Each structure stands twice: as structure tokens, then as C-alpha cells.
Amino acid sequence: MNLWQAREKSLEWLSNELIEQKALLDQGFELLDESIALLNQYGKEPSNEQNDRFASVINLTLAKTRNLLLGSYGMMLDALAQEAGALLRLILEAYELLVYFRLDPTRADQAIDGNLPQPGEIAKRIKGEFQDLRGYLNTHASHLHLSYESISHLLDYQTFEIKAVQDHRVEVFNNNLITLNAVQVLVVAEAIRCLNVIGYSPNLLIDKFEDWRLKSIKAPPPPSKDT
């Protein structure tokens, strides 16, 4: 048994027909790493105490978000996109947490004191746009429910058997990568806004982000099923 068959196929696609999508995802992680590095640098410079706390909490949130994004990417490589939905819910919560802190930097103290509101309450306070999606992911991906949406990818409708190994198709894989890239854009954009809160206007990072964002929007459509 080759447990990494799907991953090997994914890496082959990323080296060929999906090479542009791979480059976009790689650049997204690079921009996120640059944001984290800038916040680390800020922490070494004299500043006011409130900004220091805000920058530290933002940087921890960004680092955690990066891990979740990378974990989701890895699961997609292994054709476990439905299961990766559990991580997508956490990624969206992390993104909304960044917005929550930016809108009122003193809220960073809530994180330090362990008094943050629940994710649903945070979403309400920032007027978040992902409540329905987070609810769907919470029901069908984050918990072990045997609903159709949770288990349909496990069924072979021709043999009426349960599949141990999931189907892996390039068009589905690419669609999932496009979604991951879109979430990257949201997170990096919010990271830049948070940098602005502490007086950082990283022009080079902003220029790189804008170029990458436009390329992400213009990314090629998924390969046809005949690919």
C-alpha cells in the first residue's frame, strides 16, 4: 500500500498543469512570513506598551494562522479536502480574530488575560461575513457527523462500498487550491492593516501583496475534466 499515492499525484500536478497555482500559494506563504518578520522586528524596537501588546498578539495569531493554512494545504495534497474543512473553520475564526483586534487594539488585552469572547460573538461584533460558512463547516467538517455532506466522498455509488482511498481529480484539487489562495489573500491583507495600526506602512510588502492579489484574481480556471 502506498499511503502517499495522492500526495505524489498532487505534487506531479503542481509541477505541471497547476504550476501557476503553486506559485501563487508559495507567494502567499512568503508574504505571510514577511508580515510575521516585520512584527518580530517591531518587538525589538522601543514603542508604547499598548502597541507592543497588540503587535505580539497579532503576531501569535498570524503564526497560528500560517500553521493552519499549511496544514490545510497538506491535507489537500493527500486528497482529504473535506476533512481539511475542519481547519478552514479555524482559519476563518483566526482571520476574524485579526479583524477584531484591529478594530480595537485594546482587545489584545483580552487575549493576554484569557477573556476573549467566543468565535460566534467575535463574528457578531465585527459583522463577519462567514457565519453561514462557519456553521456549515462546524456541522459537516469539524465534528464526526454521518450526514450526507460529511460522508458522500466515502461512498462508491457503483459498487455500494465504502472507499478507504478517496478519489483524486485535478479539477477538484485545483478548485480547493483556489479557495485556499483566496483565504490567504484575506489573511495577508488583514496582516498589512494590522501593521498600519502600529505605524508600519511597509511599502515594499504592500506592492508585493497588490501584485500577488491581482495575479490571484486572474488565476487560470480549473483544468477541464479531460485534462
Q: Check: CB of residue 36 under 8 Å from CB of residue 66.
A: yes
C-alpha to C-alpha distance for 18 and 3, rounded to whole angstroms: 22
pLDDT tens, N- to C-terminus, the chain (227 residues)? 678 899 999 999 999 999 999 999 999 999 999 999 999 998 887 778 889 999 999 999 999 999 999 999 999 999 988 888 788 889 999 999 999 999 999 999 999 999 999 988 998 999 877 766 656 556 554 444 545 455 555 555 566 556 566 678 899 899 999 999 999 999 999 999 999 999 888 899 999 999 999 999 987 665 554 43
Q: What angle do CA 166, 81, 142 make, to 5 degrees?
A: 115
Residue 89, pLDDT score: 85
Residue 125, pLDDT score: 94
**10 Å Cβ neighbour count for 147?**
10
- Classified as helix, coil or strand, 48 is coil
User: Residue 36: in which H helix or E strand, if any?
Assistant: helix 19-43
Residue 225, pLDDT score: 44
Q: 54 exposed, middle or buried (CB, 10 Å; 0-12, 13-18, 19+)? A: buried
- Classified as helix, coil or strand, 146 is coil
Which residues make Cβ contacts (< 8 Å) with residue 94, sequence separation at least 6?
A: 61, 64, 65, 68, 187
H helix runs in 78-104, sequence order? 81-103
Domain extent listing, the chain? 5-217
